[in-house]
Amino acid sequence: GAARNTQTFALVGRTETSPDSWKEFEPSTATLTITYNHPPATPTGLSTTPATSCAATPPPVVGDADVYLYAPVSDPDGGSLGVRFELWKTSAPATILASSNAATFTATSATTAILVIPRATLEAAADSLTQFSWHVQTTDTLTTTAWSATCSFNFDTSRPGQPGVDQPAIGP
Rounded Cα distance between 34 and 61, Å, is: 50
- The whole-chain average pLDDT of the chain stands at 90
pLDDT tens-place string over residues 2-36: 677 888 877 777 777 777 777 777 888 888 888 88
- How high is the pLDDT of residue 93? 97
pLDDT tens-place string over residues 135-165: 999 999 999 999 999 999 999 988 876 666 7
- Spatial contact of 107 and 139, defined as CB atoms under 8 Å apart: no
C-alpha closest to that of 102 among 68, 67, 71, 133: 71
HSE (side-chain half, CA atoms, 13 Å) at 21:
8
Residue 1: pLDDT over 70: no
pTM attached to this predicted model: 0.79
- How high is the pLDDT of residue 155? 96
* Rounded average pLDDT over 100-121: 97
- How high is the pLDDT of residue 25? 77
pLDDT tens-place string over residues 30-45: 888 888 899 999 999 9
- How high is the pLDDT of residue 78? 96
- Spatial contact of 88 and 126, defined as CB atoms under 8 Å apart: no
